[in-house]
Amino acid sequence: MAETSPRHLLIPFAGRGSPACRAALPTLRLPNLETLLTRLTLADTDTQDESTRSPPHERALSRAMGIASADGCIPWAALEARQLGIAAPNDHEAWGLVTLCNWQVGIDDVVLGDPSAIEIDAAESAALLQAARPFFEEDGIALHPSSAPGRWLARAPIFDGLATASIDRAVGYPISQWSPLGDSARPLRRLQNEMQMLLYTQRVNDDRAARGVPPINSFWLSGTGALKNEVEPAAAATVSDELRVAALRDDGIGWATAWQALDAGPVASLLADYTRGAQVSLTLCGDRAAQRYTVQPRGLARWAKSLFDRKRASTALESL
């Protein structure tokens, strides 16, 4: 029988420093996670401050896939373009992800709303792509649809080495805090202004207003860079995204509820695989850190001690 690859479960937003989620931490009861933490060994910790453009879960996933890149330059767009066959396997040109979104204009700031909440469908995305394409082409940027409505793949030399912030960093914050800086980003800022004026006139937004959903009034650029090397299969890590929405909204009750379901589902499954003797690993990610736990040989005394040394999940998650 062929040897199966180790199973790697990666959990973004496992820890969250926002007020409501932090307050919910002590209420978590995650028996399967706690059992796993006593059985597995902490093998690697990646800790940086919260100013990084690439959050810990993206850094951990890129490492699992064998992608080496600078902060804010993990080439997610180039990878998706290659997976969809838009880019050839030997394509080393730069790409970026253009995600349609709602900029929420306040008294003092303009805040990025979560693009996953705008409820855009494929027809709307295609109509807006057709309207936007000439504006992007004027700046030498070629647009392609992606596998998800409201997200486009953009190809241009300007994206090579341009550091951009992940949407998971920027949602809920003033756009000025995370927008690309420097002279190289000036054409993009001008393009954003042009797109805001264009989107304001689109029939799509009239229809959206009639449905009572937020208007699409700008875009966010992320996932920029060129894919310089071959990558490991996506199966190198299974990403469980159940915590994302509640974490970004700082919905403490929703985040705790999602954690309970995650513990009873994917985490319990990983524990069952470990119990059967499989090689497993678990990566927990928060705002600042990612911690990877793996199966390591250990002596009988240490194993016996682990049975009585149950680590509270909240303690581990708080350190993220």
**Would you state the pLDDT for residue 308?**
43
pLDDT classification of 4: cutoffs 50, 70, 90: low
- Residue 38's alpha-carbon distances to 52, 145, 281, 306, in angstroms, are 30, 45, 13, 5
CA triple 198-131-123, angle to 5 deg: 115
Judge contact between 214 and 150, C-beta under 8 A: no
Residue of 59, 48, 65 lying closest to 8 (CA atoms)? 65
- Tokens standing for 150? 């409201």
Q: C-alpha angle with apex 231: 225 to 234, nearest 5 degrees?
A: 105
pLDDT of residue 254: 97
Q: Rg of the chain over CA atoms, in angstroms?
A: 21
Kindly report, residue by residue over 205-219, the tens digit of the pLDDT: 888 888 888 889 899
Average pLDDT value for residue range 291-298: 84
**What is the H or E stretch that residue 138 is in?**
helix 122-138
Helices (H), 212-283: 244-248, 252-262, 268-275
pLDDT tens by residue, 249-292:
999 999 999 999 999 999 999 999 999 999 999 999 999 999 99
Contact assessment for residue 223 and residue 164, using Cβ atoms and an 8 Å cutoff: yes
Q: Are strands 94-101 and 151-155 parallel, antiparallel or unpaired?
A: antiparallel
Which DSSP category does 305 fall into? H
Residue 42, token pair as written in the block: 């902490």
| pLDDT tens digit sequence for 143-178 | 999 989 999 999 999 999 999 999 999 999 998 889
Q: Distance between CA atoms of 13 and 287, rounded to whole angstroms?
A: 7
pLDDT tens column, 178-189: 987 666 778 888
User: What pLDDT, on the 0 to 100 scale, is given for residue 212?
Assistant: 86
b/e 14-43 (16+ beta carbons within 10 angstroms → b): bbbebebbbebbeebebebbbbbbebbeee
pLDDT band at 233 (very low <50, low <70, confident <90, very high): low
Confidence at residue 77, expressed as pLDDT on a 0 to 100 scale: 96
Range from 82-91, 217-226, 299-308, 311-320 that averages highest in pLDDT:
217-226
pTM: 0.90
pLDDT-above-90 percentage for the chain: 61
* Of 121, 248, 264, 135, the residue nearest 190 (C-alpha): 135
Q: Where are the alpha helices (DSSP H) in 201-282?
A: 203-211, 244-248, 252-262, 268-275
- % of residues, the chain, pLDDT over 70: 91
Which of the two residues, 29 and 181, has the higher pLDDT score? 29
